[in-house]
Chains A and B, each alone.
Chain A
Amino acid sequence: MATSSNDRPALLDIAEVSKSFGPVEVLRSVSLQVAKGEVVTIIGPSGSGKTTLLRCVNFLESYDSGSIRIDGKEVGFRDGGARQRRSERDLAAMRAETGMVFQGFNLFPHLTAAGNIMLGLAKVRGKSKTEARSIAEHWLGRVGLAHKADSLPAELSGGQQQRVGIARAVAMEPKILLLDEITSALDPELVGEVLAVVKSLAEDGMTMVMVTHEIAFARDASSRIVFMADGGVSAVGPPKEVLAAETTNERLRTFLARFRASQF
């Protein structure tokens, strides 16, 4: 059973979550606690359930059993243990508590960079247009895109689009930021600018759960690393421990060997 690295109460509490797609078990009783301010990266081979787990946290995917709580509140199901799916409005309100950044950016192509950020602020947070605009400009400044506020996504590079994607998520002041392979669709030379933004958010104390293939970044920026294999948590701990070359975990050693080989 994975536990939080310290004694603070868990902000995110994933307890024994299982999920199958038809006959395929993608999550096998996964448990993981994340404390406020922690940066947890999830690594592992493709098909290990990393992304599915992340998508369960904001209920983009449902799960078959177990529970996922944020600040003590069950995310997708009504309180009381009957496993009754929350109403559409409740779900929307719960999802607003988490921010998500996607591999494919998923910016709204019909809205400008600022418009992408303002939509949730105006419609979910109930901010006035002026207020939403100034918050959007603040966050665009933070990700180094103040001058692109009125550009449409199609007019931005991949790295710029992803930085807008991050700004859109954090502007909502989520309790947790979920990052799903956010640099995988980028040209190598654009990866750095996006990771720099993530790092600065981490330094600000943003709680983050990040699925990534950037092992070096995981090593430098995470409080803990989770290694997933075959739908379960195979190893978890501080980067130094998990990435140690002398690990006895066979799956992890194979995975890391492949990664190390690919570095050169």
Chain B
Amino acid sequence: MLGKIAYALPFLAQGFALTLWVSLLVVVLSLIAGIILGVGLVYGPAPLRWAVRIFSDTIRGIPILVLIFFVYYGLPAVGVHLQSFWAAVLALTLFKTAQVVEYLRGAVASIPKGQSEAAMAIGLTFRQRLAYVIFPQAFRRFLPPWINGVTDAVKGSALVSLLGITDLMQAINQVIGRTYEAMPLYILGALLYFAVNYALSLASRRLEQRFAFIRE
């Protein structure tokens, strides 16, 4: 049994690498898009705020699986053909972006108004207020839910296997198909996902301490 699994290890490693790659892309792209849209939602002119609000509410109201199938099978109907890999990345990024927007909005909204006023009173411009007063504080409140979201992104990336992409989940299913060793392989898969997410939550705890306003 171990021999058969050992034989499949390079294949599984490839799947694992793809899982990490998809997760990384989704996390980075959604962070960038989410921060831009989030700032638009909090500080933008009314039409932009409405647009972001509608985007965020719509996306968050759709099951992620539906979103993936919609992007891959639905968009070709309007002439947008994406490779399965990019369709999956796009769908997951849209989903994650809507979450980042909400985390950012919540984090910025939780900073008392007096902070902005104190920053205005010493003569900081809007951008300076964001850069030196609001974001450093909002970052600390943004971090915990966002890291949670990152671990969700890693786990959620398993859905890309449904488009036939050979990520860790798909690789495991294929090896099981050949070896009929379901139990040890699923345990191996679970351990790998767990290892990534556990490392992330450790890193998050470190970061939270690093940015706490009260020194331990």
Q: Would you call B133 and A108 a contact (CB within 8 A)?
A: yes
Measured CB to CB, the nearest residue on chain B to A99 is: B121
Contact of B122 among A109, A110, A168 (CB under 8 A): A168
Contacts of B214 in A (CB 8 A): 152, 154-155
Q: Tell me if A196 counts as interface (CB < 8 A to partner B).
A: no
Contact A92 B213, CB 8 Å, known A106-B115, A110-B136, A119-B132: no
Contact A119 B122, CB 8 Å, known A106-B115, A154-B213: yes
Measured CB to CB, the nearest residue on chain B to A95 is: B123
Q: Tell me if A100 counts as interface (CB < 8 A to partner B).
A: yes
Q: Tell me if B128 counts as interface (CB < 8 A to partner A).
A: yes
Complex-state Cα separation, A221 to B140, whole angstroms: 42
A116 CB, min distance to chain B CBs, angstroms: 9
Q: Would you call B213 and A110 a contact (CB within 8 A)?
A: yes
Q: Would you call B213 and A104 a contact (CB within 8 A)?
A: no
Q: Tell me if B28 counts as interface (CB < 8 A to partner A).
A: no
Contacts of B124 in A (CB 8 A): 92, 119-120, 123-124
Q: Tell me if A17 counts as interface (CB < 8 A to partner B).
A: no
Q: Tell me if B114 counts as interface (CB < 8 A to partner A).
A: yes
Contacts of A153 in B (CB 8 A): 213
Q: Tell me if A169 counts as interface (CB < 8 A to partner B).
A: yes
Q: Would you call B122 and A120 a contact (CB within 8 A)?
A: yes
Complex-state Cα separation, A107 to B119, whole angstroms: 9
The range of chain A's interface size is: 20 to 34
Measured CB to CB, the nearest residue on chain B to A104 is: B114
Contact A93 B123, CB 8 Å, known A152-B214, A152-B215: yes
Q: Would you call B121 and A95 a contact (CB within 8 A)?
A: yes
A-B contacts, CB under 8 A, total: 78
Residues 37-81 of B at the A interface (beta carbon under 8 Å): none
Measured CB to CB, the nearest residue on chain B to A98 is: B121
Q: Chain B interface secondary structure, helix, strand, loop or mixed?
A: helix
Chain A 232-253: CB-based contact to B (< 8 A → 1; otherwise 0): 0000000000000000000000
Find the residue from B128, B211, B213 having the highest chain A CB count within 10 A: B213
Complex-state Cα separation, A165 to B121, whole angstroms: 11
Q: Tell me if A189 counts as interface (CB < 8 A to partner B).
A: no
Contact A88 B123, CB 8 Å, known A108-B115, A108-B133, A154-B213: no
Contact A110 B137, CB 8 Å, known A102-B114, A155-B214: yes
Q: Would you call A92 and B125 a contact (CB within 8 A)?
A: yes
Q: Would you call A123 and B121 a contact (CB within 8 A)?
A: no
Contacts of B215 in A (CB 8 A): 152, 155
Chain B 180-216: CB-based contact to A (< 8 A → 1; otherwise 0): 0000000000000000000000000000000101110
Q: Would you call B123 and A152 a contact (CB within 8 A)?
A: no
Measured CB to CB, the nearest residue on chain B to A151 is: B215
Complex-state Cα separation, A154 to B212, whole angstroms: 11
Contact of B125 among A58, A88, A97, A152 (CB under 8 A): A88
Complex-state Cα separation, A58 to B136, whole angstroms: 25
Q: Would you call B213 and A96 a contact (CB within 8 A)?
A: no
Q: Would you call B121 and A100 a contact (CB within 8 A)?
A: yes
Complex-state Cα separation, A95 to B124, whole angstroms: 8
Measured CB to CB, the nearest residue on chain A to B117 is: A60
Q: Would you call B118 and A124 a contact (CB within 8 A)?
A: no
A196 CB, min distance to chain B CBs, angstroms: 23
Chain B 132-153: CB-based contact to A (< 8 A → 1; otherwise 0): 1100110010000000000000
Interface of A with B (CB < 8 Å)?
Answer: 58, 60, 88-89, 92-93, 95-100, 102, 104, 106-110, 119-120, 123-124, 152-155, 168-169, 172
Closest 6 A-B residue pairs measured CB to CB?
Answer: A96-B123, A120-B122, A106-B118, A100-B121, A106-B114, A124-B123
Question: Could you jot down 21 A-B contacts, CB within 8 Å?
Answer: A60-B117, A95-B121, A96-B122, A99-B121, A102-B117, A104-B114, A106-B118, A108-B119, A108-B133, A109-B137, A119-B124, A119-B132, A119-B133, A120-B123, A123-B124, A123-B128, A123-B132, A124-B122, A124-B123, A153-B213, A172-B123
